[in-house]
Structure formats: structure tokens, C-alpha cells
Amino acid sequence: MTATDFIVARDDLQACKTVATELPAGEALPQDALLVKIDRFAFTANNITYAVLGDELKYWQLFPAPDGFGNIPVWGFGEVIASKHPNVAVGERLFGYFPMATHLVIEATDVSRRGLRDGAAHRQSVAPVYNAYARVGGDPAYAGRHGDYQALLRPLFMLSFLVDDFLAENDDFGARTVLLSSASSKTALGLAHLLHTRGRKVIGLTSAGNTGFVASLGCHDEIVTYDRATTLPSAAPAAYVDMAGNSALRAELHHHFGDHMKCSLRVGLTHRATDADEGELPGAKPRGFFAPDQIRKRAKEWGPGGIEQRFAAAWSGFAPLVQTCLTVVESRGPDAVRRVYLDMLKGRIPPEQGHMLSLLG
């Protein structure tokens, strides 16, 4: 049986191609294995960041590719088309982390009513969330267009939720204003919504062409283009959550706010401009935000189901809001996937579009 994989050169993300890979089918599947057809998956700037950090954060290890190439992980849906696991039937629908491919073999383990894990040895070096699959067959929240919004937003909103929680538990480090870069990104929109709900002043920094979209969510007190960042009033304590990963912008904001910069979190890399040596910056020292740390901490403090319950409540406030300003765009087949991938890499995708892709023709 042959599958199609979309792979990119690790040292030159513009070089990409599809390759055919051989898969065991039917009786040839190992015990407990599932053969999954990957129906559709979301693709956002976050997936490009997975590729940029593929070596550093071990994303390339999840779905092996030929030497020098990597298969970018994506959040999406698959259907079990062959099963050697006694408790997983053909026809099951799964939501989770997949390769950009038409098929995946999963070594099913920890199978429960709600989900299962891939126990493949090469997938165990990453956080458990990246190996977990939800069984979503009977769940209307994951069906049709609802499902697309889940794939496009839910994993990103988990990060928004955790950053908001981290800031809130630290009383926002004394800041009452929070600045967000790449304010038009889905992750930043989720965070803006949560901060706005908590009564914080939210300032979105974005490109000139994206200000209208950012305004459409109605969660920002101010929206400022990057070239006007230093016109912001700087006399009150502020916190900065950086989705852009633009070191020149970060330095500019730190110098502008000086000691009033009370917290500076590095979350994203959409601009991929981290080369400049920023040296010692005024204000709080910039630090990376590592989501699994906050998850571990809260899992201990809130007990079983505590994170899930609070997250579900937050999600139910955000999902209907963002669906009104985000349009799902579907693309099928290798050529279409390649086009969307390269447009995303170059920053040519308008923020109001949410892309759902499939390598199936």
C-alpha cells in the first residue's frame, strides 16, 4: 500500500516535495496497530514554527522522513481504515497530531473510551500531548465545519489559555496593559480575548494590512502598526507577549518602556527575525514560555480534570466569537497543499483565512 507524504528540506524550508512511502496494509499490520487515512488538517503559521524549531524541539522525530528532510506535524482528523487492535474498529474517527501525509500507522496503546496514544518508540521524546488521539466519531463538536474550527484554533487556544493563566496567577507582574505582537495570529487573538475578559488593557501590534482584521474581534483597546510601536504611552507598567519573535521589535519595546516593562514572554516566531543581538535590555528579562511547565503545575494544583474544565469554559466563550471573523478555506491534493505551504512560509496568507488541507486528491 502506498501513501503520499509532503516533506520539506530541513535546511531550506522553501524546498519541498511529495514522496510515496510504502505502508503495511490489512493483515501485514503489526499487532495493535491502526492504519489511519488522514482526511484533513489545519495549517497555520504555528506549523511553520514547528519546522523552524524541528531539530531544537524534536518535532522532526515524530514522523520520520528521508535524510535531510522533515515532515511537519499538523493537527487534524483521520479515519481508521484497518485495525489490529481489538478495541478500535475500522471507521473510527480520530483527532490529533498527524504528519502532512495521506496515511499514518499508529501503534495504539492506552486505549480508552475517549482516546488512545501512539506508542511508537520514536514518538516518545516529546510531550505526551503530541502522541494523544481523541476518539471523536460521535461528537458533533468535531463534525463538519465545527471540526475545522477545532483543528484550526483549539490547540492554539490552549497556549492562549496557559499564557493568560500564567499572567493572572502572577497578577500580570503589576502590569495592567498587555502588548501582543503578531496580534492578527490566532494564538494572539485567543489571548487578547482572555485578557480583555479579565479587564486588562490589550494593545495589539500588527502589520499595516492586518489592522482591520484585528479590530474585527473587538478585544483590543488599541491596535498599533509595527512602525508606530514607540508612539505608545510608556509611563505605566506593561507586559509583552511576543508571538512574532522579532528581536528588533522586542528591543525597541524594551527601550521604549524601560523599567515599566514588567514581563516579557517569548511565545512565537511568526516573523522568524531573531538574528540581531539585542544585548542586555531594559526592564524585565525576556524569557521563553514553556507550556508543558504550566500544564504540569496546574495539573498538580487543580487535580484531575481541573485544566480541562477551565479550558472548556474559556473555549466556549472564544469559539463562537472567532468563528464570525475567520473563514475556512479548503485545499485538496499535493499541488494545492504545496501552494498553501509556500504562501504560509512567505507570510502571504490573509489572517481572516483558516486553511484546512488534505493530500488526498
Q: Residue 248, by phi and psi: left (phi above 0), alpha (psi -120 to 50) or beta?
A: alpha
194 is a site residue for ligand NAP (CB under 6 A): no
Rounded CA separation 256/14 (Å):
36
Which position's Cβ is nearest ligand NAP? 347
Which uninterrupted H or E stretch holds 168?
helix 144-169
Select from 93, 103, 186, 260 the one that contacts ligand NAP (CB under 6 A).
186
* Residue 298 makes contact with ligand NAP by CB under 6 A: no
Least Cβ distance, residue 218 to ligand NAP (angstroms): 17
Which residue in 7, 38, 244, 249 binds ligand NAP (CB under 6 A)?
A: 244
Q: Checking DSSP bridges between strand 132-135 and strand 115-118, what pairing results, if any?
A: antiparallel
Our finding on whether 175 is near ligand NAP (CB under 6 A) is: no
Query: 12 φ, ψ to 5°?
Result: -155, 90
Distance CA 82, CA 76 (A): 19
Residues in the chain, total: 361
Q: Does 184 bind ligand NAP (CB under 6 A)?
A: yes
The grid cell for 79 is 479515519
Nearer to ligand NAP, 36 or 74 (CB): 74
# chain residues binding ligand NAP, by CB under 6 A: 26
Binder among 159, 194, 223, 261 for ligand NAP (CB under 6 A): 159
Q: Per rule CB under 6 A, is residue 206 in the interface with ligand NAP?
A: yes
H or E element in which residue 239 lies: strand 238-242
x/- mask, ligand NAP, residues 91-130, rule CB under 6 A, reads ----------------------------------------
Contact between 45 and ligand NAP by CB under 6 A: the answer reads yes
Binders of ligand NAP among residues 266 to 295 (CB under 6 A) are 267-271, 291
Q: Could you please report the per-residue DSSP string of 251-271?
A: HHHHHHHGGGEEEEEE---TT
Contact (Cβ atoms closer than 8 angstroms) between residue 319 and residue 151 = no
Cell of 152: 484550526
Dig out the grid coordinates for 177 from the structure: 496593559
Query: Does position 207 bind ligand NAP by CB under 6 A?
Result: yes
**Is residue 156 a contact point for ligand NAP (CB under 6 A)?**
yes
| Binding stretches for ligand NAP (CB under 6 A) | 44-46, 49, 156, 159, 182-187, 206-207, 210, 243-244, 267-271, 291, 346-347, 351
